[in-house]
């Protein structure tokens, strides 16, 4: 689609400009406009908006990297960008996790300047690094584990760990209960005393697909997936185009005014209702009707309580 092609062109142009600046070149607006077949206004926008967080200045009508700054020690700008985003994500987690991540990244990147800022509000799980490491090993080797899980009081559970996931800032372990072969979600901070057993397991393909396409922790294994169709007004359509709700999202219609209709496959209404509520009143559930009815009822109850 056009917006994807435009995005790819912009990303290629910005990456090329950053690389050349980082190599010490001084670049002129008119020359860049001719090279990339865009207007000088577009190039000015690149520097004044898209690249504003980078240490770039203009001298004698030429753009250059500020003296003393270097974006990377690795071999490519793309690698540096990835490392800087990882660092900012770990900063949101905080604690020992961030300090250890920062020390590791300092070995492979220049830490003098980081133009990226993220606001992810992730839970701090730095006090569980040992258990998380053991869980990661068990997930990779497909070994069952025994651990303590605290609900009202700690209980011992025997589970097949599938994935450590983060939904809306909270960490969970998605696993299958060995006793009844039921998929469950365990709040990660309530897990302790993790021990790997000698028992191995295989992950069912349908579970892998379910996890891959899930939107939130509300996803269900024992419910037949169903489609939800949404009408998205033009003023917010770009956000759904830039970042789809899930891998199942399909744009079914595009209207002249910029509004769109999308289809998403879910297994529980609570996977989609919080998203719709967030974007009200610029979004509408087209079908299924019963999901729209649930939303109407919740809104009605809200106003009655007011």
pLDDT tens-digit series, residues 213-266: 899 999 998 889 999 999 999 999 999 998 899 999 999 999 999 999 999 999
CA separation for the pair 260, 240 (Å, rounded): 9
Domain membership flag for residue 33: yes
Same-domain pairing of 108 and 154: no
Q: Which residues contact 221 (CB under 8 A, 6 or more apart)?
A: 182, 183, 207, 210, 267
Q: What range does the domain containing 290 cover? A: 226-305
User: What φ, ψ does residue 301 adopt, rounded to 5°?
Assistant: -65, -35
Domain membership flag for residue 212: no
CA separation for the pair 175, 227 (Å, rounded): 25
Domain membership flag for residue 197: yes
Mean pLDDT of 68-78: 56
Domain membership flag for residue 215: no
Domain count of the fold of the chain = 4
Same-domain pairing of 190 and 130: yes
Given this model, what pLDDT does residue 125 score? 81
Indicate the burial class of 174 (C-beta count within 10 angstroms; 0-12, 13-18, 19 or more).
buried
Q: What is the CA radius of gyration of the chain?
A: 24
Same-domain pairing of 176 and 133: yes
Q: Examine the pLDDT at 296 and tell me if it is beyond 90.
A: yes
Q: What is the mean pLDDT of the chain?
A: 85
Q: Examine the pLDDT at 173 and tell me if it is beyond 90.
A: yes
User: Long-range contacts for 179-188 (Cβ within 8 Å, ≥24 apart)?
Assistant: 182/221, 183/207, 183/210, 183/221, 184/159, 185/217, 186/149, 186/157, 186/159, 188/123, 188/125, 188/128, 188/132, 188/164
Domain membership flag for residue 180: yes
Same-domain pairing of 300 and 270: yes
* 213 contacts 163 by C-beta, under 8 angstroms: no
- Residue 286's pLDDT band (boundaries 50, 70, 90)? very high
Instruction: Indicate which CATH number applies to the domain containing 20.
Output: 1.10.10.10
Given this model, what pLDDT does residue 272 score? 96
Buried-state track 94-119, b at ≥16 Cβ within 10 A, e below 16: eeebbeebeeebeeebbeeebbeeee
Domain membership flag for residue 217: no
Among residues 188, 177, 272, 172, the alpha carbon closest in space to that of 230 is found at 272
Same-domain pairing of 146 and 164: yes
Same-domain pairing of 115 and 155: no
Same-domain pairing of 100 and 136: no
Instruction: Indicate which CATH number applies to the domain containing 188.
Output: 2.30.30
Domain membership flag for residue 92: yes
Domain membership flag for residue 103: yes
Give the end of a domain, one of 105, 122, 139: 122
């Amino acid at each position: 689609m056009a917006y994807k092609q435009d995005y790819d062109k912009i990303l290629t142009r910005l990456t090329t400009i950053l690389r050349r600046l980082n190599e010490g070149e001084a670049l002129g607006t008119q020359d860049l406009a001719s090279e990339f077949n865009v207007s000088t206004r577009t190039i000015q926008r690149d520097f004044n908006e898209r690249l504003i967080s980078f240490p770039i200045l203009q001298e004698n009508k030429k753009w250059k990297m500020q003296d003393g700054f270097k974006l990377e020690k690795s071999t490519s700008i793309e690698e540096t960008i990835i490392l800087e985003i990882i660092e900012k994500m770990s900063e949101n987690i905080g604690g020992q996790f961030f300090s250890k991540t920062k020390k590791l990244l300092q070995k492979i990147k220049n830490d003098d300047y980081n133009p990226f800022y993220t606001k992810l509000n992730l839970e701090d799980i730095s006090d569980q690094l040992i258990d998380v490491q053991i869980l990661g090993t068990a997930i990779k080797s497909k070994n069952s584990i025994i651990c303590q899980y605290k609900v009202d009081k700690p209980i011992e559970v025997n589970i097949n760990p599938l994935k450590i996931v983060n939904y809306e800032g909270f960490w969970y372990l998605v696993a299958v209960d060995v006793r009844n072969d039921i998929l469950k979600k365990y709040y990660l901070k309530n897990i302790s005393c993790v021990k790997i057993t000698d028992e191995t397991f295989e992950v069912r393909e349908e579970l892998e697909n379910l996890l891959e396409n899930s939107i939130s922790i509300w996803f269900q294994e024992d419910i037949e997936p169903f489609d939800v169709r949404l009408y998205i007004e033009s003023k917010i359509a770009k956000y759904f185009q830039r970042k789809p709700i899930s891998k199942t999202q399909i744009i079914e219609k595009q209207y002249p005014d910029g509004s769109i209709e999308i289809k998403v496959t879910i297994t529980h209404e609570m996977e989609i209702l919080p998203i719709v509520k967030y974007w009200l009143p610029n979004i509408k559930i087209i079908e299924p009707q019963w999901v729209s009815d649930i939303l109407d009822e919740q809104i009605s109850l809200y106003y009655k309580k007011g």
